[in-house]
Structure 1
């Protein structure tokens, strides 16, 4: 006799009677000692008896259990084992849960990390966490569609961060390539989105173009009441025109005041991680003009006992924070559209080329640019050092003359 719902509701485990109530067609409700009531289907396939789990009562009511039975029996009639099919579906769900976009991207980052610098790894991690994970991070990577990923990129486009959107799309493309190579994705939906974003608008770092503005900035450094280490870091940024991160992280052990040299180790230079770690990569030597040595001597009583030249105290374990120099210039009245700390590199390069007429190779060497022959550029120690010693003093003197003058500083001829 087919079951009725009342029987199902009142069915309880017993040690004296059968704990199985049969509905027909192999379907039965089994009462367990724990109090749970489970739907099961008993069937034979290929001469073997099998039991298929169909869920728990009352979560799965009688009517649904019958539908599940009928669906399973259709498979059995075709020679398909519903138990094996159920197990495969469960395994697929487990695999999907282990291969969400977020988990897959984390495995990809772990694989790539040895070839990345720590700074680059942090940027990739932060961008994915901020712009991708909140929307598709929890989704199985194989299930994410092209329109879904496009909507992620479109959010960044709408915010005006086009460059970031392009970078994130590139990360996603690499993540999908990794997923395909490991067998957890079959299609690279990020590749489908090439050309889906507006072109990037490239712009150079803002820099001063009028000598009068540079003179005003130099004078502002003399009168500003800001923190000493910040003002000196700003003045050395103008005078030495090295990368802002290198200036901020300058260490006392890198500086030889007697020889007037600052030696930047490969680990602190803008290089690929492999180049940073190679014992063949030479450090970048920066000649210190007389004025730079004097500025550093001012800091000796304040920070020389610590690691960093621009550390907060003698015992400071951290360098000057990112953005400090730019903030100082904003305080002095120089907006971000006028000048950035990185813009001093372009400013010095232009003035040394056009006004002071120094040879381009000497300037490029001082900028630590690799040029067309990248390998030679990386491994050529102290390139043009003698010329650069002279050039850096000429540049520092030029800045002093410009600051003291009421008109344009007189161009100084340079011999190469």
Structure 2
């Protein structure tokens, strides 16, 4: 006789486990600890087997019967319900392990470890905001070009054209990693060529007119924020290295004896030397009295164990009234490159090498870090003196642009 919902609900544990039969091979196993488990006894290929349906009350009597009927339908087709359940469970496990998000995080842990902190953060934030919510749960092999395009267009539709392109680039790297590790057949991103809007290419905003550079330097001197940030602004102009390189400068990078800073260039990953002008030495000596007991020249305001935020110099420029369309932290590089070339007449290869660009000699070989070091050392001192000249003229209200002789 079939069980009633009340019989199932009121069944009490005994000293030993016992069964309450329902019908068509299903029964309720009441354990001595009070657990109530649905089971289905069946035969296939001449062998008696048992299917675990689930636990009451998570699985109600009605639902248990539905699962039983599904299992018996499988039996009529020669399918073993227990084997089918196990295979389904394994398929779901593999789908979770091989989901886009799981593989993306694995790729990130392997291939982003040697990237700058800011680049790591931008990449993960891009995936977490624009990819994972839509395709993160999906098996990577199930993601088709139209699915990926639909995801990217959600970002594009909000006006974030460049972000959509960056998300596409990140997705492509994840797919190629999946192909290389045998978990996907191909990367669908090449199929999307031309399907997204192309961002309008713009350069980092920079001040390159001598009179305005002088005013900027005066404003930096009068910056009302912390002395550490003021030093970061001043050294941004004197070093014109990449903003990430400046933020991550450590006291151990400074070689006072040789009067230079020795780092690994953020983009090229090559050793790079920044000769120190007299003005830079003075600023570093002031700064060392404040942060010299820590690791970083410019530690974070939230803790000295990490460097200044990548928005530290940018925010300072904003506070001084320089919008993102007027001047950026990266703009100090364009400022130096333009004026060293067009006003001070230094050789382009010296400037490019000091910018830590990938400069090659006539034979196509990359210049080593000490190439033209004497000339670059003189150039960096001349650059510092020129900035002082522009600042003095700005204070006097009379900027005169001087053309120096070619070297």
For the structure 1 residues 375 and 128, does the alpha-carbon distance in structure 2 shift closer, same or farther, using more than 3 Å as the test?
farther
- SS in structure 2 of the partner of residue 38 of structure 1: strand
Matches within 5 A, 1:10-409: 12=11, 19=19, 21=21, 23=23, 26-33=24-31, 34=34, 36=36, 38-43=38-43, 45-55=44-54, 68=67, 71-113=70-112, 116-144=115-143, 146=145, 148-182=147-181, 184-185=183-184, 188=187, 190=189, 192-257=191-256, 259=258, 261-266=259-264, 269-271=265-267, 275=269, 283-311=271-299, 316-372=304-360, 376-377=365-366, 380-405=368-393, 406-409=398-401
CA contact (8 A) 1:156 1:162 kept: yes
How far residue 325 of structure 1 moved from its aligned partner, in angstroms, is: 2.4
How far residue 316 of structure 1 moved from its aligned partner, in angstroms, is: 4.8
Q: 5+ unaligned residues in a row in structure 1: which ranges? A: 276-280
Q: Which residue of 2 aligns with 1:412?
A: 404
- SS in structure 1 of the partner of residue 273 of structure 2: strand
For the structure 1 residues 50 and 337, does the alpha-carbon distance in structure 2 shift closer, same or farther, using more than 3 Å as the test?
same
How far residue 341 of structure 1 moved from its aligned partner, in angstroms, is: 1.9
For the structure 1 residues 148 and 386, does the alpha-carbon distance in structure 2 shift closer, same or farther, using more than 3 Å as the test?
same
How far residue 384 of structure 1 moved from its aligned partner, in angstroms, is: 0.8
Give the Cα separation in 2 of the matches to 1:92 and 1:312: 46
Between stretches 122-131 and 384-393, larger displacement belongs to 122-131
Provide TM-score, normalisation by structure 1. Answer: 0.79
Q: Which residue of 2 aligns with 1:278?
A: none
Provide TM-score, normalisation by structure 2. Answer: 0.81
Q: When the two structures are aligned, how many residues end up with a matched partner?
A: 398
Give the Cα separation in 2 of the matches to 1:222 and 1:6: 82
Give the Cα separation in 2 of the matches to 1:82 and 1:206: 66
Give the Cα separation in 1 of the matches to 2:273 and 2:228: 22
How far residue 349 of structure 1 moved from its aligned partner, in angstroms, is: 1.0
Give the Cα separation in 2 of the matches to 1:64 and 1:87: 19
Give the Cα separation in 2 of the matches to 1:295 and 1:64: 76
Between stretches 335-344 and 136-145, larger displacement belongs to 136-145
Give the Cα separation in 2 of the matches to 1:15 and 1:307: 67
How far residue 255 of structure 1 moved from its aligned partner, in angstroms, is: 3.2
How far residue 204 of structure 1 moved from its aligned partner, in angstroms, is: 1.1
Between stretches 75-84 and 164-173, larger displacement belongs to 75-84
For the structure 1 residues 140 and 384, does the alpha-carbon distance in structure 2 shift closer, same or farther, using more than 3 Å as the test?
same
Give the Cα separation in 2 of the matches to 1:289 and 1:400: 12
CA contact (8 A) 2:38 2:55 kept: yes
Give the Cα separation in 2 of the matches to 1:290 and 1:135: 55
- SS in structure 2 of the partner of residue 265 of structure 1: strand
Give the Cα separation in 2 of the matches to 1:256 and 1:367: 19
How far residue 254 of structure 1 moved from its aligned partner, in angstroms, is: 3.2
Between stretches 402-411 and 296-305, larger displacement belongs to 296-305
How far residue 249 of structure 1 moved from its aligned partner, in angstroms, is: 3.4
Give the Cα separation in 1 of the matches to 2:117 and 2:311: 19
Q: 5+ unaligned residues in a row in structure 2: which ranges? A: none
Give the Cα separation in 1 of the matches to 2:170 and 2:30: 51
Give the Cα separation in 2 of the matches to 1:35 and 1:319: 56
